[in-house]
A and B are shown apart, each in its own frame.
Chain A
Protein backbone atom coordinates (compact mmCIF):
# COMPACT_ATOMS: atom_id res chain seq x y z
CA UNK A 1 0.00 0.00 0.00
CA UNK A 2 2.89 2.32 0.72
CA UNK A 3 3.92 1.87 -2.90
CA UNK A 4 0.49 2.84 -4.20
CA UNK A 5 0.48 6.01 -2.11
CA UNK A 6 3.92 6.86 -3.34
CA UNK A 7 2.96 6.57 -7.01
CA UNK A 8 -0.55 7.96 -6.79
CA UNK A 9 0.69 11.41 -7.82
CA UNK A 10 1.72 10.09 -11.26
CA UNK A 11 -0.06 12.06 -13.93
CA UNK A 12 -1.87 9.97 -16.54
CA UNK A 13 -2.06 11.85 -19.81
CA UNK A 14 -5.26 11.55 -21.86
CA UNK A 15 -5.32 9.04 -24.71
CA UNK A 16 -4.00 10.28 -28.04
CA UNK A 17 -7.06 9.61 -30.21
CA UNK A 18 -5.41 10.36 -33.58
CA UNK A 19 -2.46 8.07 -32.80
CA UNK A 20 -4.75 5.23 -31.68
CA UNK A 21 -6.98 5.73 -34.72
CA UNK A 22 -3.93 5.49 -36.98
CA UNK A 23 -2.85 2.23 -35.33
CA UNK A 24 -6.28 0.65 -35.88
CA UNK A 25 -6.24 1.81 -39.49
CA UNK A 26 -2.90 0.08 -40.10
CA UNK A 27 -4.24 -3.06 -38.43
CA UNK A 28 -7.27 -2.96 -40.73
CA UNK A 29 -4.98 -2.59 -43.73
CA UNK A 30 -2.88 -5.60 -42.67
CA UNK A 31 -5.99 -7.73 -42.26
CA UNK A 32 -7.36 -6.53 -45.61
CA UNK A 33 -4.11 -7.53 -47.35
CA UNK A 34 -4.26 -10.98 -45.73
CA UNK A 35 -7.85 -11.40 -46.93
CA UNK A 36 -6.84 -10.29 -50.45
CA UNK A 37 -4.03 -12.88 -50.44
CA UNK A 38 -6.47 -15.53 -49.30
CA UNK A 39 -8.98 -14.65 -52.03
CA UNK A 40 -6.30 -14.48 -54.74
CA UNK A 41 -5.00 -17.91 -53.73
CA UNK A 42 -8.29 -19.44 -54.90
CA UNK A 43 -9.72 -17.06 -57.50
CA UNK A 44 -6.77 -16.59 -59.85
CA UNK A 45 -6.33 -19.32 -62.48
CA UNK A 46 -3.87 -22.08 -61.63
CA UNK A 47 -1.64 -21.58 -64.66
CA UNK A 48 -0.84 -18.04 -63.46
CA UNK A 49 1.60 -19.60 -61.04
CA UNK A 50 4.43 -17.07 -61.26
CA UNK A 51 1.98 -14.18 -61.40
CA UNK A 52 0.44 -15.41 -58.14
CA UNK A 53 3.83 -15.92 -56.53
CA UNK A 54 4.92 -12.37 -57.35
CA UNK A 55 1.64 -10.89 -56.09
CA UNK A 56 1.96 -12.81 -52.80
CA UNK A 57 5.60 -11.84 -52.32
CA UNK A 58 4.81 -8.20 -53.15
CA UNK A 59 1.91 -8.06 -50.68
CA UNK A 60 4.07 -9.74 -48.02
CA UNK A 61 6.61 -6.95 -48.32
CA UNK A 62 3.85 -4.34 -48.07
CA UNK A 63 2.71 -5.98 -44.82
CA UNK A 64 6.30 -6.22 -43.55
CA UNK A 65 6.84 -2.53 -44.34
CA UNK A 66 3.86 -1.45 -42.26
CA UNK A 67 4.73 -3.71 -39.31
CA UNK A 68 8.34 -2.52 -39.22
CA UNK A 69 7.78 1.16 -39.94
CA UNK A 70 4.67 1.79 -37.85
CA UNK A 71 4.22 -0.96 -35.25
CA UNK A 72 7.95 -1.18 -34.56
CA UNK A 73 8.20 2.57 -35.05
CA UNK A 74 11.34 2.35 -37.18
CA UNK A 75 10.10 5.00 -39.61
CA UNK A 76 10.18 7.55 -36.81
CA UNK A 77 13.71 6.70 -35.60
CA UNK A 78 16.85 8.51 -36.71
CA UNK A 79 18.12 7.88 -40.25
CA UNK A 80 21.31 6.25 -39.04
CA UNK A 81 19.32 3.68 -37.04
CA UNK A 82 17.03 2.94 -40.00
CA UNK A 83 20.02 2.28 -42.26
CA UNK A 84 21.83 0.23 -39.61
CA UNK A 85 18.90 -2.17 -39.63
CA UNK A 86 18.04 -2.06 -43.33
CA UNK A 87 21.45 -2.26 -44.98
CA UNK A 88 22.65 -5.60 -43.51
CA UNK A 89 19.55 -7.22 -45.00
CA UNK A 90 21.22 -6.87 -48.41
CA UNK A 91 22.99 -10.11 -47.50
CA UNK A 92 19.60 -11.84 -47.34
CA UNK A 93 18.82 -10.69 -50.88
CA UNK A 94 22.09 -12.17 -52.09
CA UNK A 95 21.40 -15.35 -50.12
CA UNK A 96 17.97 -15.78 -51.74
CA UNK A 97 19.33 -15.37 -55.27
CA UNK A 98 22.31 -17.67 -54.65
CA UNK A 99 20.43 -20.52 -53.02
CA UNK A 100 17.37 -20.54 -55.29
CA UNK A 101 19.78 -20.74 -58.23
CA UNK A 102 21.59 -23.52 -56.43
CA UNK A 103 18.29 -25.36 -55.91
CA UNK A 104 17.63 -25.30 -59.64
CA UNK A 105 21.14 -26.62 -60.27
CA UNK A 106 20.60 -29.52 -57.86
CA UNK A 107 17.33 -30.38 -59.60
CA UNK A 108 19.05 -30.43 -62.99
CA UNK A 109 21.57 -33.09 -61.88
CA UNK A 110 19.15 -35.14 -59.76
Chain B
Protein backbone atom coordinates (compact mmCIF):
# COMPACT_ATOMS: atom_id res chain seq x y z
CA UNK B 1 0.00 0.00 0.00
CA UNK B 2 2.68 2.43 1.05
CA UNK B 3 4.85 1.36 -1.88
CA UNK B 4 2.08 2.01 -4.41
CA UNK B 5 1.50 5.41 -2.88
CA UNK B 6 5.17 6.24 -3.31
CA UNK B 7 5.08 5.00 -6.92
CA UNK B 8 2.09 7.20 -7.76
CA UNK B 9 3.67 10.28 -6.30
CA UNK B 10 7.25 9.69 -7.28
CA UNK B 11 7.24 12.59 -9.74
CA UNK B 12 5.84 15.03 -7.22
CA UNK B 13 7.21 16.80 -4.22
CA UNK B 14 7.65 14.71 -1.08
CA UNK B 15 5.31 17.05 0.77
CA UNK B 16 2.41 16.97 -1.72
CA UNK B 17 0.64 14.21 0.17
CA UNK B 18 0.14 10.49 -0.23
CA UNK B 19 3.41 9.60 1.50
CA UNK B 20 4.80 10.00 5.02
CA UNK B 21 7.87 12.23 4.68
CA UNK B 22 8.79 11.65 8.32
CA UNK B 23 8.17 7.90 8.06
CA UNK B 24 6.24 7.93 11.32
CA UNK B 25 2.54 7.54 12.01
CA UNK B 26 0.27 10.47 12.80
CA UNK B 27 -0.06 9.38 16.43
CA UNK B 28 3.67 9.15 16.97
CA UNK B 29 4.32 12.53 15.37
CA UNK B 30 1.66 14.17 17.48
CA UNK B 31 3.18 12.62 20.60
CA UNK B 32 6.56 14.09 19.61
CA UNK B 33 5.13 17.57 19.07
CA UNK B 34 3.14 17.39 22.29
CA UNK B 35 6.37 16.47 24.10
CA UNK B 36 8.12 19.41 22.45
CA UNK B 37 5.44 21.75 23.83
CA UNK B 38 5.70 20.08 27.23
CA UNK B 39 9.47 20.58 27.09
CA UNK B 40 8.80 24.31 26.71
CA UNK B 41 6.56 24.26 29.77
CA UNK B 42 9.17 22.54 31.91
CA UNK B 43 11.89 24.81 30.52
CA UNK B 44 9.78 27.76 31.58
CA UNK B 45 9.54 26.41 35.12
CA UNK B 46 13.22 25.53 35.47
CA UNK B 47 14.38 28.80 33.91
CA UNK B 48 12.09 30.65 36.32
CA UNK B 49 13.92 28.82 39.10
CA UNK B 50 17.24 30.03 37.62
CA UNK B 51 15.99 33.61 37.32
CA UNK B 52 14.72 33.75 40.89
CA UNK B 53 17.76 32.02 42.30
CA UNK B 54 20.12 34.51 40.67
CA UNK B 55 18.01 37.40 41.80
CA UNK B 56 18.78 36.36 45.40
CA UNK B 57 22.08 36.50 47.25
CA UNK B 58 24.07 33.28 47.29
CA UNK B 59 25.19 31.81 50.60
CA UNK B 60 28.74 33.00 51.14
CA UNK B 61 29.67 31.53 54.53
CA UNK B 62 31.42 28.29 55.43
CA UNK B 63 29.73 25.36 53.72
CA UNK B 64 29.61 23.08 56.78
CA UNK B 65 28.14 25.80 59.00
CA UNK B 66 25.17 26.46 56.70
CA UNK B 67 21.98 27.64 58.38
CA UNK B 68 19.03 28.81 56.27
CA UNK B 69 17.99 32.44 56.17
CA UNK B 70 15.63 34.57 54.15
CA UNK B 71 18.61 36.67 53.16
CA UNK B 72 20.15 34.14 50.81
CA UNK B 73 19.21 31.17 48.63
CA UNK B 74 19.77 27.82 50.42
CA UNK B 75 22.28 25.16 49.36
CA UNK B 76 20.01 22.32 48.13
CA UNK B 77 22.15 19.48 49.45
CA UNK B 78 21.84 20.97 52.96
CA UNK B 79 18.05 20.86 52.67
CA UNK B 80 17.53 17.50 50.97
CA UNK B 81 19.63 15.27 53.20
CA UNK B 82 17.06 12.97 54.76
CA UNK B 83 16.50 9.28 54.09
CA UNK B 84 13.54 7.13 55.18
CA UNK B 85 14.09 5.17 58.42
CA UNK B 86 17.34 7.03 59.08
CA UNK B 87 15.98 9.96 60.98
CA UNK B 88 18.44 12.58 62.14
CA UNK B 89 21.30 11.31 59.98
CA UNK B 90 22.48 13.64 57.22
CA UNK B 91 22.86 11.80 53.93
CA UNK B 92 22.76 14.58 51.33
CA UNK B 93 21.09 13.82 48.00
CA UNK B 94 21.07 10.05 48.56
CA UNK B 95 17.31 9.80 48.45
CA UNK B 96 17.00 11.89 45.28
CA UNK B 97 19.75 9.74 43.80
CA UNK B 98 17.66 6.68 44.59
CA UNK B 99 14.64 8.28 42.92
CA UNK B 100 16.75 8.96 39.81
CA UNK B 101 17.86 5.32 39.82
CA UNK B 102 14.24 4.12 40.05
CA UNK B 103 13.10 6.32 37.17
CA UNK B 104 16.00 5.37 34.89
CA UNK B 105 15.34 1.69 35.58
CA UNK B 106 11.66 2.08 34.74
CA UNK B 107 12.72 3.77 31.52
CA UNK B 108 14.79 0.69 30.65
CA UNK B 109 11.89 -1.69 31.33
CA UNK B 110 9.77 0.55 29.08
CA UNK B 111 12.17 0.21 26.10
CA UNK B 112 12.22 -3.54 26.72
CA UNK B 113 8.40 -3.53 26.49
CA UNK B 114 8.63 -1.61 23.20
CA UNK B 115 11.22 -4.10 21.91
CA UNK B 116 8.94 -7.02 22.84
CA UNK B 117 6.08 -5.24 21.05
CA UNK B 118 8.07 -5.14 17.82
CA UNK B 119 8.30 -8.92 18.05
CA UNK B 120 4.55 -9.34 18.81
CA UNK B 121 5.61 -10.95 22.09
CA UNK B 122 2.56 -10.30 24.26
CA UNK B 123 3.87 -12.05 27.37
CA UNK B 124 7.04 -9.98 27.49
CA UNK B 125 5.19 -6.74 26.73
CA UNK B 126 3.00 -7.48 29.75
CA UNK B 127 5.97 -8.39 31.94
CA UNK B 128 7.96 -5.25 31.14
CA UNK B 129 4.92 -2.96 31.27
CA UNK B 130 4.19 -4.30 34.74
CA UNK B 131 7.76 -3.57 35.87
CA UNK B 132 7.45 -0.07 34.42
CA UNK B 133 4.26 0.48 36.41
CA UNK B 134 5.98 -0.80 39.56
CA UNK B 135 8.87 1.63 38.95
CA UNK B 136 6.48 4.53 38.45
CA UNK B 137 4.56 3.75 41.63
CA UNK B 138 7.82 3.39 43.57
CA UNK B 139 8.89 6.82 42.33
CA UNK B 140 5.56 8.36 43.36
CA UNK B 141 5.91 6.76 46.79
CA UNK B 142 9.37 8.28 47.17
CA UNK B 143 8.02 11.65 46.15
CA UNK B 144 5.24 11.40 48.74
CA UNK B 145 7.89 10.79 51.40
CA UNK B 146 10.03 13.64 50.08
CA UNK B 147 7.11 16.07 50.23
CA UNK B 148 6.07 14.94 53.70
CA UNK B 149 9.62 15.42 54.92
CA UNK B 150 9.83 18.88 53.34
CA UNK B 151 6.44 19.96 54.71
CA UNK B 152 6.92 18.70 58.28
CA UNK B 153 10.37 20.22 58.57
CA UNK B 154 13.91 19.43 59.54
CA UNK B 155 13.70 19.69 63.32
CA UNK B 156 17.37 20.64 63.21
CA UNK B 157 18.89 22.74 65.92
CA UNK B 158 19.11 26.40 64.99
CA UNK B 159 16.57 26.00 62.18
CA UNK B 160 12.90 26.91 62.16
CA UNK B 161 10.93 30.14 62.16
CA UNK B 162 9.86 32.36 65.03
CA UNK B 163 6.39 33.47 64.01
CA UNK B 164 6.71 36.64 66.10
CA UNK B 165 9.93 37.70 64.45
CA UNK B 166 10.69 38.53 60.83
CA UNK B 167 13.42 36.18 60.05
CA UNK B 168 14.43 32.64 60.34
CA UNK B 169 16.50 31.53 63.28
CA UNK B 170 14.91 33.25 66.21
CA UNK B 171 15.00 32.25 69.84
CA UNK B 172 11.43 31.06 70.25
CA UNK B 173 11.08 28.69 67.33
CA UNK B 174 7.50 27.70 66.67
CA UNK B 175 7.35 26.72 63.04
CA UNK B 176 9.21 24.01 61.16
CA UNK B 177 8.86 22.92 57.57
CA UNK B 178 7.35 24.74 54.64
CA UNK B 179 4.12 25.48 52.85
CA UNK B 180 3.10 28.07 50.27
CA UNK B 181 3.27 30.96 52.75
CA UNK B 182 5.98 29.92 55.24
CA UNK B 183 9.35 28.38 54.59
CA UNK B 184 11.93 27.21 57.06
CA UNK B 185 14.58 26.66 54.40
CA UNK B 186 15.14 30.17 53.04
CA UNK B 187 13.31 32.64 50.79
CA UNK B 188 9.62 31.79 50.38
CA UNK B 189 10.05 31.37 46.63
CA UNK B 190 12.34 28.39 47.22
CA UNK B 191 9.51 26.39 48.80
CA UNK B 192 6.97 27.59 46.24
CA UNK B 193 9.21 26.50 43.37
CA UNK B 194 9.87 23.16 45.06
CA UNK B 195 6.15 22.44 45.28
CA UNK B 196 5.44 23.69 41.79
CA UNK B 197 8.29 22.05 39.87
CA UNK B 198 8.42 18.65 41.60
CA UNK B 199 4.62 18.69 41.83
CA UNK B 200 4.20 19.35 38.12
CA UNK B 201 6.68 16.59 37.35
CA UNK B 202 4.94 14.25 39.80
CA UNK B 203 1.63 14.91 38.04
CA UNK B 204 3.28 13.84 34.80
CA UNK B 205 4.54 10.66 36.45
CA UNK B 206 1.07 9.95 37.79
CA UNK B 207 -0.58 10.36 34.38
CA UNK B 208 2.24 8.28 32.87
CA UNK B 209 1.50 5.46 35.31
CA UNK B 210 -2.21 5.64 34.43
CA UNK B 211 -1.40 5.45 30.70
CA UNK B 212 0.92 2.50 31.38
CA UNK B 213 -1.85 0.72 33.29
CA UNK B 214 -4.24 1.22 30.36
CA UNK B 215 -1.67 -0.09 27.87
CA UNK B 216 -0.89 -3.04 30.14
CA UNK B 217 -4.59 -3.87 30.30
CA UNK B 218 -5.02 -3.57 26.54
CA UNK B 219 -1.97 -5.76 25.92
CA UNK B 220 -3.26 -8.39 28.32
CA UNK B 221 -6.71 -8.65 26.69
CA UNK B 222 -5.16 -8.89 23.23
CA UNK B 223 -6.21 -5.51 21.81
CA UNK B 224 -2.87 -4.93 20.11
CA UNK B 225 -2.70 -8.44 18.68
CA UNK B 226 -6.09 -7.87 17.08
CA UNK B 227 -4.83 -4.53 15.80
CA UNK B 228 -1.76 -6.22 14.39
CA UNK B 229 0.84 -3.95 15.99
CA UNK B 230 2.01 -2.61 19.37
CA UNK B 231 2.49 1.01 18.34
CA UNK B 232 0.52 2.26 21.34
CA UNK B 233 3.27 0.88 23.58
CA UNK B 234 5.77 3.01 21.63
CA UNK B 235 3.68 6.17 21.96
CA UNK B 236 3.14 5.78 25.69
CA UNK B 237 6.84 4.82 25.90
CA UNK B 238 7.81 8.17 24.36
CA UNK B 239 5.82 9.96 27.05
CA UNK B 240 7.35 7.83 29.79
CA UNK B 241 10.92 8.50 28.61
CA UNK B 242 10.13 12.19 28.48
CA UNK B 243 9.07 12.09 32.14
CA UNK B 244 12.42 10.45 32.92
CA UNK B 245 14.22 13.08 30.83
CA UNK B 246 12.58 15.92 32.74
CA UNK B 247 13.61 14.34 36.03
CA UNK B 248 17.24 14.26 34.84
CA UNK B 249 17.03 18.05 34.44
CA UNK B 250 15.14 18.59 37.71
CA UNK B 251 17.76 16.48 39.51
CA UNK B 252 20.58 18.66 38.20
CA UNK B 253 19.04 22.10 38.36
CA UNK B 254 17.01 21.77 41.53
CA UNK B 255 19.03 19.39 43.70
CA UNK B 256 22.61 19.20 42.45
CA UNK B 257 23.61 22.77 41.59
A100 and B54 in contact, given A38-B97, A67-B248 (Cβ under 8 angstroms): yes
Contact call A4/B121, Cβ cutoff below 8 A: no
Q: Which residues of A contact B55 (CB under 8 A)?
A: 102-104, 106-107, 110
Contact call A103/B119, Cβ cutoff below 8 A: no
- Chain B nearest CB, measured from A104 CB (Å): 5
B interface: dominant SS: helix
Contact call B22/A80, Cβ cutoff below 8 A: yes
A107: contacting residue among B47, B50, B54, B101, CB under 8 A: B54
Give chain A's interface residues, CB within 8 Å of chain B: 3-4, 6-7, 10-16, 19-20, 23-24, 27, 30-31, 34, 37-38, 41-42, 46, 52-53, 56-57, 59-60, 63-64, 67-68, 71-72, 77-78, 80-81, 84-85, 88-89, 91-92, 95-96, 99-100, 102-104, 106-107, 110
Contact call B252/A60, Cβ cutoff below 8 A: yes
- Chain A nearest CB, measured from B242 CB (Å): 7
- Chain B nearest CB, measured from A64 CB (Å): 6
Q: Which residue of A lies closest to B116 (CB)?
A: A15
Q: Which residue of B lies closest to A91 (CB)?
A: B40
Q: Which residue of B lies closest to A82 (CB)?
A: B22
Q: Which residues of B contact A107 (CB under 8 A)?
A: 54-57
Question: Closest 10 interchain pairs by CB?
Answer: A103-B54, A106-B55, A13-B119, A103-B51, A27-B108, A99-B51, A60-B252, A103-B55, A7-B225, A81-B22
Q: A34 vs B65: C-alpha distance in the bound complex, in angstroms?
A: 27
Contact call B115/A20, Cβ cutoff below 8 A: yes
Contact call B43/A92, Cβ cutoff below 8 A: yes
Q: Is B77's beta carbon under 8 Å from chain A? A: yes
Q: Is B165's beta carbon under 8 Å from chain A? A: no
Contact with A along B33-59 (1 / 0, CB 8 A): 100100110011001101111111100
